[in-house]
Amino acid sequence: MPRSNRPRSRRRGDEPVEPFDLDRLSAGLRRTEVKRSGTWNVQSVSAASAQKVYLCPGCRLDVPVGQAHIVAWRADGLMGEQADLADRRHWHSHCWRMEP
C-alpha cells in the first residue's frame, strides 16, 4: 500500500481561515516613484478607507469621501522624513499619473 505524505496531526478545517481582504492589501502597499520633481513615496487609498475630503494639488478640486485616490510625499526632502510625511498630499489617481 502506498504511503501518504500528508501529516496526520492536522485535519482540514481545524485552523480558522481569515477572509482575503483586497482593500486592505491594496491600501497598505507603499512604493517609490521618480518624477521630474524628485523621488516620491506613493500609497494608494481604497474607497473604503477614504474617510475625509481632501484638496487635490493637481487639479485643485476635492477628492470626496469614498473615492479611491493616491497619497504622495517626498522621499528625498531636505528637512527629514518626519517633515516630508507631515507634508503629504492626497491626489486623484488620474492627476497623479499626469503629474510630470
Determine, yes or no, domain membership for 86.
yes
Confirm whether 60 is domain-assigned: yes
- Mark 66-92 as b/e (b = at least 16 C-beta within 10 Å): ebbbbbbbbbebeeeeeebeeeebbbb
Residue 88 in any domain: the answer is: yes
Whether the model pTM is above 0.75: no
The residue count of the chain comes to: 100
Range of the domain at 67: 32-98
Q: What is the pLDDT of residues 18-57, one digit of tens each?
A: 555 555 554 558 899 998 888 999 999 999 999 999 999 9
* 7 or 11, which is more confident: 7
Number of domains observed in the structure of the chain? 1
